[in-house]
Amino acid sequence: MSVRQPVVAGVDGGVGARTLALALGVTAPPAERYTPCDVLVCRGTVHSLALAEWHVDAVTRSGNHQPVILAVQTDAEGIPRNARAKLTMLEPHLHGIVRMPWVSRWREVADPYTEAGQLLRRDPAAVPKHLIKYHAAVVDVAERLMRLVTNTTPNMALYTPGSWAPQPSPAAPGSATPFAFHPAGGH
């Protein structure tokens, strides 16, 4: 059983879609409004969430509706109250919301994309302290993606880099067979 490669799109340029796509091992198309996608990335601001709301509405009206995972890039201050209210209104129309934490170190390095692209390839016990929360959020997005594109429960313990083809993994007797998550490279 092959699975199409998930699409990660941003509501606008500079919202973190490329970084998240690299962390997931998929490519992100250039920022383009209303691209049907599996993961929609925005900032935790009222303006960016309004763009996300318009994006979801436009894609739904175009007939390409599928619930998307909204990845909300937060900054050091978190998400303001008005933005949290907008998230609450959006939530019923989404496959889920994942808050992507701020990684302050990425403002100070020349190439944060390399670090992001290697994140899921690391043993979780070896993830640097400054990336632990971001790593957990990426794993959360990856698990939701696998449920979205395969309608199965992924087994992230069996994660190995590879392709977006689900791989059977050993199942407990009497349980449904979970699939291992294998995102494609490309970085």
**Are 146 and 71 in contact, with CB atoms under 8 Å apart?**
no
For position 2, what pLDDT does the model report? 58
Q: What is the DSSP letter of 10?
A: E
pTM above 0.95, yes or no: no
**Are 104 and 129 in contact, with CB atoms under 8 Å apart?**
no
Given a cut of 80, is residue 154 above it in pLDDT?
A: no
Domain boundaries, the chain: 8-151
Given a cut of 80, is residue 22 above it in pLDDT?
A: yes
- Give the closest residue to 106 by CA, choosing from 134, 137, 126, 80: 134
Identify the H or E element spanning 8. Answer: strand 8-10
Interacting residues of 140 by C-beta distance below 8 A, sequence separation 6+? 98
Q: What are phi and psi of 43, to 5 degrees?
A: -90, 165
- What mean pLDDT do residues 135-145 have? 93
State whether the Cα torsion 137-91-145-153 is positive or negative: positive
Measure the CA–CA gap between 114 and 69, rounded to whole angstroms: 24
pLDDT in tens, 77-120: 889 999 999 999 999 989 899 999 999 888 898 999 999 988 88
Measure the CA–CA gap between 181 and 165, rounded to whole angstroms: 8
What is the architecture of the domain spanning 8-151?
A: 3-Layer(aba) Sandwich (3.40)
CA 160 to chain centroid, in Å, comes to 17
DSSP letter string over 31-73? P-TT---SEEEEESSHHHHHHHHHHHHHHHHTT-----EEEEE
Beta bridge partners of 42: 72
Measure the CA–CA gap between 138 and 71, rounded to whole angstroms: 9
Mean pLDDT of the chain: 78
